[in-house]
Structure 1
Amino acid sequence: MLVLGISGLDRAAALKKRMMPGLDWREQRLVQGLDSAAALVDENGVIAASAQERHDGEKGTGAFPADAVAACLRQAGATMDDVDFVAHGFRYEPSPVFELDDYLRRWYQEAYRAEVQFDVLRAYYPDQDWDRKLVRVPHHLAHAASSYHLSGFRDAVVLVADGMGESESTSLFRGRDGRLEPLRSYPIGSSLGILYSVVTQYLGFLPGMDEYKVMGLAPYGDPGAFPEATLVVPRPGGDLAVPVLAHDKTPEERETHRGAIRRLEELFGPARRPDAPVTQRHMDVAAVVQRAVEEGLFLVLGEGLDATGETSRNLCMAGGVALNCTANGRIARSGRFDGMFVQPAAGDDGTALGAALHVLRERVPAAPWAMGMPYWGEEFDDTEIETGLATLGPGHRVRHLPGAPMLAEVSGLIGSGAVVAWYQGRMEFGPRALGNRSILADPTVPDMRAHLNAMVKQREEFRPFAPAVPAEVAGEYFEIEPGREGVFRHMLFVTQVREQHRAALPAVTHVDGSARVQVVEPDLAPRFHALICRFGTDHGTPVLLNTSFNLRGQPIVRTPAEAVATYARSTLDALAIGDWLVVREPAGGSDD
């Protein structure tokens, strides 16, 4: 059985602009149905998955993922006629709620209802029987399925936390023997995800996209700096309240969160303008909301699970909040769960994957399988790489270096202080570059983080970078228990750098001694693993700084042409693309 999953709400962003013209660019982002993607699965596993932003260049786009669908079908050598079902990660139904005001009425009529989804699909694929083929999957169920069915756990509690689904913000499920059973849910007014996004907006960043900046800023702040500011309030029986959100009293405030922003200004002082300096006060606010969301998650996992009588020792997580690596690390260290899995595309792009998996497993039941790496995107052959390289102008030297010579050259470049773009194999699915679309550097160089932030990534100086380390030595450098290395393979958990190695790893050790580690296993990422090991042999420390291969405002590169063009217009020192190594000629031309 071949099942295609899709995410996103094609008409939502345009509808927001029509309903509320004149909003600033951050308020326009406050819309459901972004991060559109496609995923293709069958009984043997995940065949392909791709986010639409990698194709059209618009970060976080909610446009129908036609290009991503086409890429997934190409990967399978299939057409839409071969697809048995198309699963969509939303299922809105008629409700009196949608009659409360004109905004809600229009949202349902023009963006949410089933007829709109049929219209969109028919516009792209008019010859399909969509009445039979389309299956709409509730949003949080799609999130839950994306994690549980890839976890390898027969029995697990599944936590979904994001801004909102159709009518809920946080949900708990029980996964048992390949089936998901809902346990409880929390209303939108209790949304930890919306709280974090509103504070992201308050701090001058882009909500729905820049929450990771707040997470990176939080360790610089004091979570106790505003003792009167209670952002999450426990309620009896595992319930919780987020009082700030209650200040969005009018329909206009609900669409912009201006009421909640005013309340945050009462609690913390004036909101930061996007172009204003980041001060200690902003760092403290970031620390406060990070701690509040962590406590909210523990409340749900503590009293919330106890109230349902669930005692599973395995936890799966998905939803945008599950991309909060600091919170994930704290949950992992708590000792409550023996096994823990976060699906690497935990945001809304992952609901394409989850919707497809849910439909597949409803019709072909099977126990969850344990996924490896999400290398589910496109791969390009040597001809396409050579075509991309042919667009390089003068000032570059290109060499063909298959096998070990490439590893030796890249190791030497990185060891000499160079920053190298590394483009190999199939593209990753999800927001993290995991060794196939990466920028790599030496983590032992003291000013490397500042150099990358300022000159290469062109981003805020406070933002940390991740270390990649071979699984067999991960516990030597980072606080990872033996046998738990696999938890860290997708770069979704923060742990501490061992104290004796912090001074030697300044470029990947955050201000609080932590790091968002990627553990690299030889059977799952053989070439990347071999490179890190070669670097360790050559230079003494088997750790590389790994960040995504993109520049400011750009999605991670997809094609060889994009990789070459991005390298050419950047300050990157070298590009390793397939078996070709590109370096910049020294001023005055080659010495050869």
Structure 2
Amino acid sequence: MTVLVLGISGLDRSLSVKQQLVPGLDWREQRLAQGLDSAAALVSEDGVLAASAQERHDGVKGTGAFPVDAIEACLRMAGVTLDEVDVVAHGFRYQPSVAWDLDPITRRWFDEVYCEQVQLDVLRTHYPDQDWARKLVRVPHHLAHAASAYYLSGFQDATVLVADGMGEAESTSVLAGRGSRIRSTRTYPISSSLGILYTVVTQFLGFLPGMDEYKVMGLAPYGDPKRYESALEHLVRLGDCGRLLLPVLSFDRTAVERETHRGVIRRLEELFGPARHPDAPVEQRHMDIAATLQHVLERSLLHVLDSAVAQAEQAGERSRNLCMAGGVALNCTANGLISRSGLFDDLFVQPAAGDDGTALGAALWQLHQTTAAPAPRMAMPYWGEEFDDAAVSAAVAGLGDGYRARRLAEEELVGEVAGLIAEGSVVAWFQGRMEFGPRALGNRSILADATAPDMRAHLNTVVKQREEFRPFAPAVVAEEAGEFFEIEPGREHVFQHMLFITQVREKYRDLLPAATHFDGSARVQVVDRLTAPRFWRLISEVGTHRGVPIVLNTSFNLKGQPIVRTPREAVDTFARSTIDALAIGDWLVTRTVPDAGTDAVAGTGAEGSRA
């Protein structure tokens, strides 16, 4: 009999309670809360059946709202009802403790957001007919993160590193995976949180904490970490046997400061000067601070892993494999450094490494407690909704005047889109099942020519309307990845999910100006013919036009918008953008009016979906 486990993430009341606890917070301080990025995932012995983030349904980026829409989508894709689900696993397990009596604010967090009774109440509000006292299983947060990576890695043994802002009481965890079991070997307290440090400096630099850390990572190569070398010991101190001390975090001394990190911000101003206002220009000083922070993160992660390897060797349990999860594991630059360190032979980062991935991990953890499910290495996280031709056709029909829409055979579609990209056009690419996780991996993407010198600036300023310094990922066919990028033969699979930085080979940097970052690096996506066949064919066809089987790949969304989910969203987003063409299913839509795209389209169309 098949076991069905539904995993969920997020803490539904987190933001509303935060606003009550500390009135008058600015819009960035409100983001400093546990339990965002809510999602749902459905798994069985057959593997991952479906997974979806709530933000793709309600349009609120990073939402922590109860993922009712994502749950319904997962059930719909799998063709089951909630009655048929055996267990619902939640990626948090807060327990009563004297620590919750530290102050009234902390106590209210437990009573109104974290405790088991609140989780049961939320579930009963949305699904009152279920026996939640029996059906709900709560999984410790870092264990859910670890399970999301280890059980999808294909490894029979691995060191597992989880690093984020915080779990229930820890910020970094080292675990050991062997067979179907995972056990914790070391944890680091919240006072040593590398994730919190990175988030607070993100806020200090004028960006949105819990959302814009990748901007700081992209800014870091423009800076010089030596400028603030004297500040390093105030940020982190590395002790014997892998110990971490983050002195700067100790400056949050009151309950309100712990909610806002205003104490840490004041200390950062003493070390680096005034915090940047969100609307102020980015100066060299800000780049140097970003570089310092990135250096601290990389140095600290290697310190933790060095100690973990030494401890495992002493116990005779050394693994040559590494799995990573948690928000810090989305730092592609640090991942690339770890990959090159020689500490491990093979690495795997679960592509939804943030808190949305704990929905997946909680479900996988519970599944492996009851069944010896096989665990092959995952391919692409195409676990979201796929829409039938009726839904696509209806959405396209709603465009109205100013557009030309044609339904093409696959060979024609791929050929025409490749030709448009080669000629300098920007094309939105909406195909198959939606990706799970923050990266667009070839099914909900915006694509462009990686060889065009001005393409990165055009995409940033005109299409995506974002900061000029932000890099774009090159997607390359697996057969040619090692030719253009510093990827060793046999390690192409490491770069499948756009989570590792490597260097563009020097002889190709001038040929790939739009794909090569300031420091010669690139966040590469290696595309395999078997796992993404239509995307692979498109990139290959671009190669016949440009001599380079590479395209720029960025997510199909505009500023402030989650990645598009439905055909209607795809068509509407295309219509109000400056994107030149839309390839949606078997349809190719181009503009016939030069200024089309200034207003959102009118019209409606029924949507249909299939798993």
TM-score, normalised on structure 1?
0.99
Q: Does 1:472 align with 2:479?
A: yes
What's the CA shift string for 1:341-392, capped at 9, x where partnerless?
Answer: 0000000000000000000001102453210000000000000001111221
What's the CA shift string for 1:57-109, capped at 9, x where partnerless?
Answer: 00000000000000000000001000000000000000101001011000000
- Is the 8 Å Cα contact of residues 422 and 576 (structure 1) preserved in structure 2? yes
Q: 2:458 aligns with which of 451, 454, 473?
A: 451
Which residue number in structure 1 is paired with residue 591 of structure 2? 584
SS state at 1:174 partner: strand
TM-fit CA distance, 1:307 = 3.3
Which residue number in structure 1 is paired with residue 174 of structure 2? 172
Q: 1:337 aligns with which of 344, 348, 360?
A: 344
- Is the 8 Å Cα contact of residues 177 and 367 (structure 1) preserved in structure 2? no
SS state at 1:519 partner: strand
Q: How many residues end up aligned between the 2 structures?
A: 589
Letter of the structure 2 residue corresponding to residue 21 of structure 1:
P
Partner Cα separation in structure 2 for residue 456 and residue 218 of structure 1 = 23
Q: Does 1:271 align with 2:275?
A: yes
Partner Cα separation in structure 1 for residue 486 and residue 595 of structure 2 = 48
TM-fit CA distance, 1:587 = 4.3
SS state at 1:340 partner: strand
TM-fit CA distance, 1:393 = 2.5
TM-fit CA distance, 1:236 = 2.1
Which residue number in structure 2 is paired with residue 147 of structure 1? 149
Which residue number in structure 2 is paired with residue 507 of structure 1? 514
Q: Which segment drifts farther, 231-240 or 270-279?
A: 231-240
What's the CA shift string for 1:154-183, capped at 9, x where partnerless?
Answer: 010000000000000000110001110110
Letter of the structure 2 residue corresponding to residue 13 of structure 1:
L
What's the CA shift string for 1:298-347, capped at 9, x where partnerless?
Answer: 01101244235352100000000000000000000111100100000000
Q: 2:17 aligns with which of 2, 8, 15?
A: 15
Letter of the structure 2 residue corresponding to residue 284 of structure 1:
D
| 1:21-170 equivalences in 2 (<5 Å) | 21-170=23-172
Q: Which segment drifts farther, 241-250 or 361-370?
A: 361-370
Q: Does 1:183 align with 2:190?
A: no
- Is the 8 Å Cα contact of residues 178 and 367 (structure 1) preserved in structure 2? no
Q: 1:224 aligns with which of 226, 236, 250?
A: 226
What's the CA shift string for 1:106-143, capped at 9, x where partnerless?
Answer: 00000000000000001111111111110000000000
What's the CA shift string for 1:489-511, capped at 9, x where partnerless?
Answer: 00000000000000000001000
RMSD after superposition: 1.0
Partner Cα separation in structure 2 for residue 587 and residue 280 of structure 1 = 39
Which residue number in structure 2 is paired with residue 425 of structure 1? 432
- Is the 8 Å Cα contact of residues 177 and 366 (structure 1) preserved in structure 2? no
Q: 1:236 aligns with which of 212, 236, 240?
A: 240
What's the CA shift string for 1:215-255, capped at 9, x where partnerless?
Answer: 00000001111111122211222110111101101111100
Letter of the structure 2 residue corresponding to residue 320 of structure 1:
G
SS state at 1:228 partner: helix
Which residue number in structure 2 is paired with residue 357 of structure 1? 364
Which residue number in structure 2 is paired with residue 293 of structure 1? 297
Partner Cα separation in structure 2 for residue 511 and residue 385 of structure 1 = 39
- Is the 8 Å Cα contact of residues 45 and 374 (structure 2) preserved in structure 1? no
Which residue number in structure 2 is paired with residue 539 of structure 1? 546
Partner Cα separation in structure 2 for residue 29 and residue 587 of structure 1 = 40
Q: 2:558 aligns with which of 546, 551, 555?
A: 551
Letter of the structure 2 residue corresponding to residue 246 of structure 1:
S
Partner Cα separation in structure 1 for residue 338 and residue 192 of structure 2 = 20
What's the CA shift string for 1:431-482, capped at 9, x where partnerless?
Answer: 0000000000001000100000000000000000000000000000000000
Partner Cα separation in structure 1 for residue 424 and residue 248 of structure 2 = 47
Which residue number in structure 2 is paired with residue 255 of structure 1? 259
Partner Cα separation in structure 1 for residue 250 and residue 194 of structure 2 = 13
Letter of the structure 2 residue corresponding to residue 257 of structure 1:
H
- Is the 8 Å Cα contact of residues 367 and 373 (structure 2) preserved in structure 1? no
Partner Cα separation in structure 2 for residue 450 and residue 396 of structure 1 = 26
TM-fit CA distance, 1:7 = 0.0
**Alignment CA distance shift 1:538-1:237 (3 Å):** same
Partner Cα separation in structure 1 for residue 396 and residue 261 of structure 2 = 47
What's the CA shift string for 1:29-71, capped at 9, x where partnerless?
Answer: 0000000000000001000000000000000000000000000
TM-fit CA distance, 1:570 = 0.2
What's the CA shift string for 1:546-587, capped at 9, x where partnerless?
Answer: 000000000000000000000000000000000000000044
Q: Does 1:517 align with 2:524?
A: yes
Letter of the structure 2 residue corresponding to residue 471 of structure 1:
A
Which residue number in structure 1 is paired with residue 445 of structure 2? 438
Percentage identity across paired residues of the two chains: 69
Q: Which segment drifts farther, 225-234 or 215-224?
A: 225-234
Partner Cα separation in structure 1 for residue 400 and residue 592 of structure 2 = 11
Partner Cα separation in structure 2 for residue 368 and residue 174 of structure 1 = 16
- Is the 8 Å Cα contact of residues 383 and 436 (structure 2) preserved in structure 1? yes
Q: 1:386 aligns with which of 393, 405, 409?
A: 393
SS state at 1:224 partner: helix
- Is the 8 Å Cα contact of residues 202 and 216 (structure 2) preserved in structure 1? yes
Unaligned runs of 5+ in 2: 597-611
- Is the 8 Å Cα contact of residues 385 and 577 (structure 1) preserved in structure 2? yes
Q: Does 1:317 align with 2:321?
A: no
SS state at 2:173 partner: strand
Partner Cα separation in structure 2 for residue 544 and residue 366 of structure 1 = 37
Partner Cα separation in structure 2 for residue 3 and residue 158 of structure 1 = 23
TM-fit CA distance, 1:268 = 0.7
- Is the 8 Å Cα contact of residues 550 and 556 (structure 1) preserved in structure 2? yes
Which residue number in structure 2 is paired with residue 284 of structure 1? 288
- Is the 8 Å Cα contact of residues 174 and 186 (structure 2) preserved in structure 1? yes
Letter of the structure 2 residue corresponding to residue 116 of structure 1:
V
SS state at 1:229 partner: helix
Which residue number in structure 2 is paired with residue 396 of structure 1? 403
Which residue number in structure 2 is paired with residue 565 of structure 1? 572
Which residue number in structure 1 is paired with residue 603 of structure 2? none
Letter of the structure 2 residue corresponding to residue 150 of structure 1:
L
- Is the 8 Å Cα contact of residues 205 and 274 (structure 1) preserved in structure 2? yes
- Is the 8 Å Cα contact of residues 36 and 348 (structure 1) preserved in structure 2? yes
Partner Cα separation in structure 2 for residue 170 and residue 205 of structure 1 = 24
What's the CA shift string for 1:254-302, capped at 9, x where partnerless?
Answer: 0000000111111111000000000000000000000100111001101
Partner Cα separation in structure 1 for residue 375 and residue 570 of structure 2 = 35
Q: Which segment drifts farther, 385-394 or 244-253?
A: 385-394
SS state at 1:504 partner: coil
SS state at 2:187 partner: strand
Partner Cα separation in structure 2 for residue 81 and residue 349 of structure 1 = 24
Partner Cα separation in structure 1 for residue 520 and residue 8 of structure 2 = 39
TM-fit CA distance, 1:588 = 10
Partner Cα separation in structure 1 for residue 110 and residue 594 of structure 2 = 60
